[in-house]
A and B are shown apart, each in its own frame.
Chain A
């Protein structure tokens, strides 16, 4: 068991290292010099002497492998470096924005599980009849509307036309909990539309897969109540693929909420990443990619633990 966990951890760390190193390589190799971008003003290219001075200050005059070594050395001391744009420590920026993104993704995932799982199970239990057809049609529609279209329409209808909600933005929880929740629920709900439909589909097909199993019929033959059979002998067994897909999508969302953040003007991690890439703010990009990939790897480890909790056969694997 311990050996297995260690092996998993080693593979996970290797993956994080590969992804961050690749990003390091790519971001340094793509054209565009952060110093020039920073110093250029109004289309006038910067003074070469100033660019050279900034290069020396930021360490960009070093060979790439030296920069990479310094980057790793910094990491080893828990130092993410400072932004090339405003010289703030990158860790501060992340500490500020990561919780917002986690909150956004977490709430969206929560809504999606709350709605998608029961409706998927219900559709499977009524397969081919009207509740299934209605729910499946709704899910098909929800999957067809791109997330930024949902967001834009939410803003158009709720904010611009009906004036029910503000058009977007962010308020810290401590300042105004009600408004914080409202401003959080709009982007989270928008993300949840597609995620719910996805979970609905997975749950439906997972339950349909379990229903004809012999142990369900055996449970029926023991005279168990339908509720017991559904919860204990069908849903529990159908959870695995649902969790897998949920984890996959949550992991993708960690770095992929940029569209929703843009629509609702929500200051999360994703938007920062986009800005950092276009400014070639190397330390900022590296730190965000590192944090996201560590989180994705952690998420996968947690999922593996969940598998063990659900299925005793996997516990001693």
Chain B
């Protein structure tokens, strides 16, 4: 907001100046005094005198009035005209759309300068001609924006509802449509004022715009050009005034756009992982393959950081498949990305360590981390259609994973065969859009296992696929376990039925915390946390007549309840549950649960 105020105030001042010009104690901008032509700045004439001895300062201010007057008026006319055409075309569609929109597009086909020239020659130069000419030129821009916005709005339920309820069109247009499409049109308006100012001054500069005696910045530049060797400053003033005003207008537009569309201002994900600056930890964990201890991730919310993943411990042994389960928003995907070192920008690691065969990943420099990715740790993503670059052949993208392989092409084809793709040679030559979802996921898996990784992180690898294809991909992943000896797999999913078949152990997450973990068979047979029970009850399996659902939703990280995070949704909660946060307690035979009443469920 503060960034918006500066250009807004400046613009306000300029407009005020232009409006108040006749009431200011300025010299007559038309008063000639040939004796003092090209006189240097003085007390009486702050910016000197021009080639006819006229006061340049006064002409600058009056010029603002002329130039801005033409630009604003033209933008208003163009706006009203264009918005009418666009809204009518977008709202009524059909023949109205055809006439209004094609009319606008025809104008856009003309080179703007040619159109301006024709209009000027038709009507003779002058301010009125300029306004007409600029209005015709800029109306199509408004029409296009208004049309597109109306079309989008027209499809929304609340407008459709009004139409089907029989509300008069005029009423819908003025009460509902216009207020809703206003923000982009306001931006378009300020853009148009800037563009109109540029074109007006350009035409005046050519002698085709405003007629000579009246002061306009374009005309002043045209006049000063002739005498630029004797009086270069005369050229500078109108140039500065014009460019400065356009700059203020442009800034105003940019900031206004940010203000009206907050999405555009949010921080974008940075491309490269920045150094984390975590305090070093003494090596305490000795583990098989992957050992995660106390991982805490925070998300930026305004000026503060809120924990989204809290104190997560996770182990994956060689050859072991561990399932990480939870609803969306439980932090399971972020945990997976933290292992890869690919957390999006608004998320940071606050504490913890992740060891992959002894190497601490969180404190590893980006360069070293990059060498591990794709070789020691690989990842399969949720949506194979967006995880492949649509512009490159399958073979090229799989080959990228291979490091210095001599017979790259043959290895790519072999890899594609390994993941069960028919005609791997042909698939290598294909583009992603020519494959089905299941085939694409096989490609992603081929790229992931290209270098025989020690750990494969599979983030919901079957969620985006058809049910029949899901089973095939799961089969493939299960085969990999036996083929890629010693490869551990972290299988992230919200689907418990899937997990039961593929995983050795399961870790259940809720609201950023591990709530239960243990061997799959035992956890499924005797869940010790009500959340696991609820998840199992809501999984479509067996001959359940009615699916149970879990009431409510995962709490937001910044609105966690005081006690157990699951208590508000828990059927078994009692008073103590809402007071203190329960700890993750070991309950024997390699299991643990975060519930005050786990013993009662045992």
Q: Which residues of A contact B (CB under 8 A)?
A: 15, 18-19, 22-23, 26-27, 30-32, 125, 127-128, 140-141, 143-149, 152-153, 155-156, 160-161, 208, 211-226, 228-230, 232-233, 236-237, 251-252, 254-256, 258-259, 262, 270, 273-274, 277-278, 289, 292-293, 296, 310-313
A128 pairs with B118, CB closer than 8 A? no
The chain A residue sitting closest to B433, CB to CB, is: A313
Min CB–CB distance B177 → chain A (angstroms): 28
Q: Which residues of B contact A143 (CB under 8 A)?
A: 246, 250
Known: A211-B271, A256-B113. A146 touches B121 (CB 8 A): no
Known: A146-B246, A152-B235. A256 touches B111 (CB 8 A): yes
Q: Which residues of B contact A289 (CB under 8 A)?
A: 114
Q: Which of B50-58, B225-233, B523-531 contacts A (4 or more CB under 8 A)?
A: B225-233
A222 pairs with B400, CB closer than 8 A? yes
Binary interface encoding of chain B residues 114-131 relative to chain A, with 1 for a CB under 8 A from any of its CBs, else 0:
100110011000000000
Complex A-B: 24 CB contacts under 8 Å: A18-B109, A23-B118, A26-B118, A30-B118, A146-B242, A213-B386, A215-B388, A215-B390, A219-B389, A221-B340, A221-B373, A221-B378, A221-B381, A223-B372, A223-B373, A225-B370, A229-B271, A252-B111, A256-B114, A273-B114, A273-B117, A289-B114, A296-B109, A313-B390
Known: A160-B229, A259-B206. A152 touches B239 (CB 8 A): yes
Other than the given A127-B270, A296-B109, 6 more pairs (CB < 8 A) read: A140-B247, A146-B198, A152-B228, A215-B390, A224-B400, A251-B111
Min CB–CB distance A149 → chain B (angstroms): 5
Partner of A215, one of B112, B239, B389: B389
Q: Which residues of A contact B365 (CB under 8 A)?
A: none
CA distance A278 to B114 in the complex (A): 12
Q: Which residues of B contact A (CB under 8 A)?
A: 106, 109-114, 117-118, 121-122, 198, 201-202, 205-206, 221, 225, 228-229, 232, 235, 239, 242-244, 246-247, 250-251, 254, 267-272, 340, 342, 344, 370-375, 378-379, 381, 383, 386-392, 400-401, 431, 433, 444, 447-448
Q: Which residues of A contact B392 (CB under 8 A)?
A: 232
Min CB–CB distance B346 → chain A (angstroms): 11
Q: Which residues of A contact B401 (CB under 8 A)?
A: 222-223
A237 pairs with B109, CB closer than 8 A? no
Q: Which residues of B contact A18 (CB under 8 A)?
A: 106, 109
Partner of B228, one of A125, A141, A156, A219: A156
A149 pairs with B243, CB closer than 8 A? yes
Mostly, the A contact residues are helix
Q: Which residues of B contact A148 (CB under 8 A)?
A: 201-202, 205, 221
Min CB–CB distance A113 → chain B (angstroms): 19
CA distance A33 to B321 in the complex (A): 88
Known: A146-B201, A217-B381, A220-B342. A256 touches B112 (CB 8 A): yes
Interface centre among A221, A255, A262, by most B CB within 10 Å? Answer: A221
Q: Which residues of A contact B246 (CB under 8 A)?
A: 143-146
Q: Which residues of B contact A230 (CB under 8 A)?
A: 271
The chain B residue sitting closest to A251, CB to CB, is: B111
Interface centre among B121, B251, B254, B381, by most A CB within 10 Å? Answer: B121
CA distance A19 to B111 in the complex (A): 10
CA distance A292 to B269 in the complex (A): 43
Partner of A224, one of B269, B374, B431: B374
CA distance A230 to B448 in the complex (A): 20
CA distance A311 to B247 in the complex (A): 37
CA distance A225 to B201 in the complex (A): 49
Known: A30-B122, A237-B391. A223 touches B371 (CB 8 A): yes
Q: Which residues of B contact A233 (CB under 8 A)?
A: 389
CA distance A224 to B370 in the complex (A): 7
A259 pairs with B202, CB closer than 8 A? yes
For the complex of A and B, the 3 pairs showing the least CB-CB separation, nearest first, are A223-B374, A255-B111, A144-B247
A153 pairs with B239, CB closer than 8 A? yes
Q: Which residues of B contact A258 (CB under 8 A)?
A: 113, 206
Partner of A214, one of B117, B340, B370, B387: B387
Min CB–CB distance A259 → chain B (angstroms): 5
CA distance A255 to B387 in the complex (A): 43
Q: Which residues of A contact B370 (CB under 8 A)?
A: 220, 223, 225-226
B431 pairs with A27, CB closer than 8 A? no
Q: Which residues of A contact B122 (CB under 8 A)?
A: 26, 30-31
Partner of B113, one of A152, A229, A232, A255: A255
Q: Which residues of B contact A214 (CB under 8 A)?
A: 381, 383, 386-387
Known: A127-B270, A152-B239. A220 touches B373 (CB 8 A): yes
Known: A140-B247, A255-B111. A149 touches B239 (CB 8 A): yes
The chain B residue sitting closest to A30, CB to CB, is: B122
B342 pairs with A217, CB closer than 8 A? yes
Q: Which residues of A contact B225 (CB under 8 A)?
A: 152
Q: Which residues of A contact B378 (CB under 8 A)?
A: 221-222
Q: Which residues of A contact B400 (CB under 8 A)?
A: 219, 222, 224, 228
CA distance A220 to B379 in the complex (A): 10
The chain B residue sitting closest to A211, CB to CB, is: B271
A259 pairs with B232, CB closer than 8 A? no
The chain A residue sitting closest to B444, CB to CB, is: A218
CA distance A292 to B117 in the complex (A): 15
Min CB–CB distance A276 → chain B (angstroms): 10
The chain B residue sitting closest to A292, CB to CB, is: B111
Q: Which residues of B contact A273 (CB under 8 A)?
A: 114, 117
B431 pairs with A312, CB closer than 8 A? yes
B433 pairs with A312, CB closer than 8 A? yes
Min CB–CB distance B274 → chain A (angstroms): 11
Q: Which residues of A contact B242 (CB under 8 A)?
A: 146, 149
B113 pairs with A270, CB closer than 8 A? yes
CA distance A215 to B447 in the complex (A): 13
B201 pairs with A311, CB closer than 8 A? no
CA distance A128 to B265 in the complex (A): 10
Min CB–CB distance A294 → chain B (angstroms): 13
Known: A149-B243, A215-B388, A228-B400. A19 touches B110 (CB 8 A): yes
B118 pairs with A277, CB closer than 8 A? yes
A144 pairs with B268, CB closer than 8 A? no
Min CB–CB distance A147 → chain B (angstroms): 8
CA distance A219 to B250 in the complex (A): 37
A211 pairs with B269, CB closer than 8 A? yes
CA distance A228 to B373 in the complex (A): 15
CA distance A23 to B496 in the complex (A): 70
CA distance A216 to B234 in the complex (A): 53
Known: A31-B122, A156-B232, A252-B112. A144 touches B243 (CB 8 A): yes
The chain A residue sitting closest to B381, CB to CB, is: A218
Q: Which residues of B contact A293 (CB under 8 A)?
A: 109
Q: Which residues of B contact A232 (CB under 8 A)?
A: 389, 392
Min CB–CB distance A135 → chain B (angstroms): 14
B387 pairs with A218, CB closer than 8 A? yes
Known: A224-B400, A255-B113. A215 touches B387 (CB 8 A): yes
CA distance A156 to B294 in the complex (A): 67
CA distance A221 to B456 in the complex (A): 11
Min CB–CB distance A202 → chain B (angstroms): 14
A149 pairs with B221, CB closer than 8 A? yes
Q: Which residues of B contact A312 (CB under 8 A)?
A: 390-391, 431, 433
Q: Which residues of B contact A149 (CB under 8 A)?
A: 221, 239, 242-243
Q: Which residues of A contact B340 (CB under 8 A)?
A: 220-221
CA distance A274 to B373 in the complex (A): 62
Q: Which residues of A contact B206 (CB under 8 A)?
A: 258-259, 262, 274
CA distance A273 to B113 in the complex (A): 10
Partner of B111, one of A152, A208, A254, A310: A254
Min CB–CB distance B512 → chain A (angstroms): 21
Q: Which residues of A contact B201 (CB under 8 A)?
A: 146, 148
CA distance A141 to B246 in the complex (A): 9
Q: Which residues of B contact A224 (CB under 8 A)?
A: 374, 400
CA distance A217 to B381 in the complex (A): 9
Q: Which residues of B contact A160 (CB under 8 A)?
A: 228-229, 232
Min CB–CB distance B184 → chain A (angstroms): 16
